[in-house]
Amino acid sequence: MKSFKTILAIVFCCLCGGISAQNIKIFFPQFTGQKYVFILNQGAKRDTVQSGIVGETGFVTVNLTIPEKLKGYTGIGSWSAASGRGINFIVNNEDFSVTCQDSLPGLNNIVYEGSKENALMNRYETELFAFYQKIDSVFRAENMAEKRDSPPPSFLKGMQSINKEYANIQKKLATDTSYAAFFWRTLNYMRGLGNRIYYKPDDQNDYFSDLIHYLSDEIDVQYLYSSGLWNPVITTTFNSVENKAVWAENMVKMLKRTKSQSVFEAFSTDLVTICEQWAWENAEQVIIAYLESSGRLPADQGNILNRVMLQNKVKIGNKAPALNGEIPTNALLIFYESGCQHCQHQLAEIAEYYPRIVEKGIKVISISTDESKEVYDYHSKNFLWPDKLCDFKGFKGENLINYGVVGTPTLYLIDENGIILDRQPRLDDIKALNLN
């Protein structure tokens, strides 16, 4: 059974905001001379807020500080050395120290002083580790790894007893307001447990119903944002319902309960990006409708959320916005970023079909999001078409804002009257071109 540290390491790899703890001391003498990093979680991102070498100041103790921009942070911090070994712990308003005299940190050799939260985190880990072992023993005793049409009565009886014990554990976690209790309760959901243990083949719907209720009505979204569990939780919801518009409605319930404006914007951005990537148009419309009425859109018009609002208005059948002051006609537009693998693939596709595109009386216009002239010139110099645009303002450029471009590549096909015929992420999906 994996410990909390190991589980967190796995969770973090799935990813591809009180007073800050001003005095966190790390004393790991076996790590002297090794480079280290201190990382805090913000949604899907992991920010390196401090780095150095253990012992470089003449003292083996490493003093960690929270940067001003993250003042008030409550969540999981990660301290690791070049060897790949390290620890994860709760960062909040506590000043505390962490000591490990061994070269391989583990549950039994890490000592916290001055941190009630981390002591509680370790106590819950110890209790749950023992409980997980009980579950494993029941499965092993009945050889449940083998495929069976139905579980044997002895297994069902054993699981019934364990489920009663688990219900008490989750009840205790639900009534405990500590971050440690939040973390372990949420992690249990990620392990497929929920308010009870779901172990039958037909339990999937009940599990997802339980999970969505927890996320929509109970979870502290701010806590989740800084937990390192953000991506696993959000992606787990993808399979909760087939109708993605219903999925979006569930996500909107979470948005409505998100108090922090910065977390609200990050969460909204993740949701619209997911919809764009998976082409969940109905889901995106649900989210956009809520965002438009929320009164919480950022003031910056170049922000991705405002670009989504604009893109929603740049619809097929509408007049195309101006490019550098002129409405494009008989044109294939590609918004791209140099170095973006998908963009490069689409640019190569356009180059391959360029003679046929020209034969149809259509001109290609490429619009780059590059901010470096050197990068732009290097990547665009061999384009076959003459119409190449870049204002070196990235996604805050006028053309990107006017078209509400959320991500790259984005392609538009525009007819002789300046009407948008299609918008797609891939050339192959623009059927009106008839290239295949």
Q: Measured between alpha carbons, how far is 275 from 280 in angstroms, rounded to an integer? A: 5
Is 135 among the domain residues? no
> Pick from 106, 169, 108, 109: which is nearest to 135 by CA?
169
Is 264 among the domain residues? no
Q: Measured between alpha carbons, how far is 317 from 128 in angstroms, rounded to an integer? A: 57
Is 290 among the domain residues? no
pLDDT in tens, the chain (436 residues): 334 344 333 343 443 333 334 589 999 999 999 999 999 999 999 999 999 999 987 778 999 999 888 988 999 999 999 998 999 999 998 999 999 999 999 989 999 999 999 999 999 999 999 999 999 888 888 777 665 667 788 888 888 899 999 999 999 999 999 999 999 999 999 998 899 999 887 899 999 999 999 999 999 999 999 999 999 999 999 999 999 999 999 999 999 999 999 999 999 999 998 998 888 989 999 999 999 999 999 988 778 898 888 888 888 999 999 999 899 999 999 999 998 999 999 999 999 999 999 999 999 999 999 999 999 999 999 999 999 999 999 988 999 989 988 889 999 999 999 999 999 999 999 999 988 7
Is 344 among the domain residues? yes
Report the pLDDT value the prediction gives residue 276, as an integer from 0 to 100: 81
Amino acid, single-letter form, for residue 29: P
SS3 47: strand
HSE of 155, CA atoms in CB hemisphere, 13 A: 17
Q: How far is CA 25 from the centre of its chain?
A: 29
* Tokens encoding 263: 């977390």
Whether 335 and 301 have beta carbons less than 8 Å apart is answered as no
Handedness of CA 393, 350, 364, 402 (dihedral sign): negative
Is 249 among the domain residues? no
Query: Which residues pair with residue 39 across a beta bridge?
Result: 48, 78
Report the pLDDT value the prediction gives residue 404, as an integer from 0 to 100: 86
Angle, in degrees to the nearest 10, between helices 281-294 and 304-313: 110
Report the pLDDT value the prediction gives residue 20, as an integer from 0 to 100: 39
Extended strands (E) in 58-201: 62-64, 75-81, 86-91, 96-99, 111-113
Whether 66 and 20 have beta carbons less than 8 Å apart is answered as yes
The domain tally of the chain equals 2
Extended strands (E) in 258-382: 331-336, 363-368
Tell me the CA distances in angstroms from 143 to 156, 197, 288, one per residue in order.
13, 18, 49
Angle, in degrees to the nearest 10, between helices 261-278 and 304-313: 50
Residue-wise burial string across 340-369, b where 16 or more C-beta atoms lie within 10 A, e elsewhere: beebeebbebbeebbeebeeeebbbbbbbb
Residues 6+ apart with CB under 8 A from 143: none
Report the pLDDT value the prediction gives residue 22, as an integer from 0 to 100: 56
End position of a domain, from candidates 77, 94, 115: 115
> Pick from 434, 414, 436, 409: which is nearest to 424 by CA?
409
| Residue carrying structure tokens 């712990």 | 89
Q: Measured between alpha carbons, how far is 330 from 125 in angstroms, rounded to an integer? A: 63
36: enclosing H helix or E strand: strand 35-42
End position of a domain, from candidates 69, 94, 115: 115
Report the pLDDT value the prediction gives residue 146, as an integer from 0 to 100: 63
Is 237 among the domain residues? no
End position of a domain, from candidates 61, 93, 115: 115
Extended strands (E) in 146-254: none
| Residue carrying structure tokens 């927890």 | 214
* Tokens encoding 43: 């949604």
The CATH number of residue 346's host domain is 3.40.30.10
Is 16 among the domain residues? yes
Domain that holds residue 97: 4-115
* Tokens encoding 163: 């489920």
Report the pLDDT value the prediction gives residue 149, as an integer from 0 to 100: 66
Q: Measured between alpha carbons, how far is 44 from 224 in angstroms, rounded to an integer? A: 11
Q: Measured between alpha carbons, how far is 302 from 121 in angstroms, rounded to an integer? A: 41
Overall size of the chain counted in residues: 436
The CATH number of residue 73's host domain is 2.60.40
Is 33 among the domain residues? yes
